[in-house]
Structure 1
């Protein structure tokens, strides 16, 4: 099942990269890329807020829907900077099994 999750993220990321390379007028992703990182970050912030609101509401369907939007917009940001999702997976693998407290302390400096 974990493989399926990675596959859809990779598939969505590929489409985002395609829209970036070959923009069309009717592509939401291409329009975000064209508007630049500030617009992408604004959308990312809006989506994060919507996840928080859904979490407060506690409705499972809304949490899932809003989280999907947040992940999509995160992928748009990664695509803007040509950061492959595998780099994020690698960072998560590096942290796996390490206490969150220890990991954060290792970054202080």
Structure 2
């Protein structure tokens, strides 16, 4: 089966949503979410660092594996806050066609 990255990410987010409701003793996803958003954010940060290091000195296979890990923990972190894929897609769609510099300048400080 060949999927686009978007299709695979959609399926991953659906799977995370389903597994988040499972028993934490049998689901790593449910266990992570049960430990709270701060824990999920920490794991996401760790995976980001691992991907950054793989980009610098790892093989292409290492980079792909770390990127997949990062996307999984990204999904878990979103789920821990009740943020859906469509929530993120809406922001991405709104940014399409805008320069990155223009988009950054339009943000209001939070």
Secondary structure of 2:20's aligned partner: helix
Asked whether the equivalents of residues 37 and 81 of structure 2 are also in contact (C-alpha less than 8 Å), the reply is no
1:104 match: 104
* Aligned-partner Cα distance in 2 for 1:82–1:10: 16
Task: Decide which structure has greater helix share.
Answer: 1
Runs of 4 or more consecutive aligned structure 1 residues displaced over 3 Å after TM superposition: none
1:36-69 CA-partner distances (Å, limit 9, x unpaired) = 1121111101000001101111521111110111
Match in the other structure for 2:54 = 54
Structure 2: stretches of 5+ with no match in the other structure: none
1:108 and 1:52 mapped to 2: Cα distance? 28
1-structure distance, mates of 2:58, 2:11: 29
CA–CA separation in structure 1 for the residues paired with 2:58 and 2:35: 33
User: What pairs up with 1:1-109 in 2 under 5 angstroms?
Assistant: 4-57=4-57, 59-109=59-109
CA distance in structure 2 between the aligned counterparts of 1:4 and 1:64, rounded to whole angstroms? 14
RMSD: 1.6
How far apart are residue 102 of structure 1 and its match?
A: 0.6
The alignment's TM-score, normalised by the length of structure 1, stands at 0.87
The one-character-per-residue Cα deviations of 1:63-82 (angstroms, maximum 9, x if unpaired) are 11101110110000111122
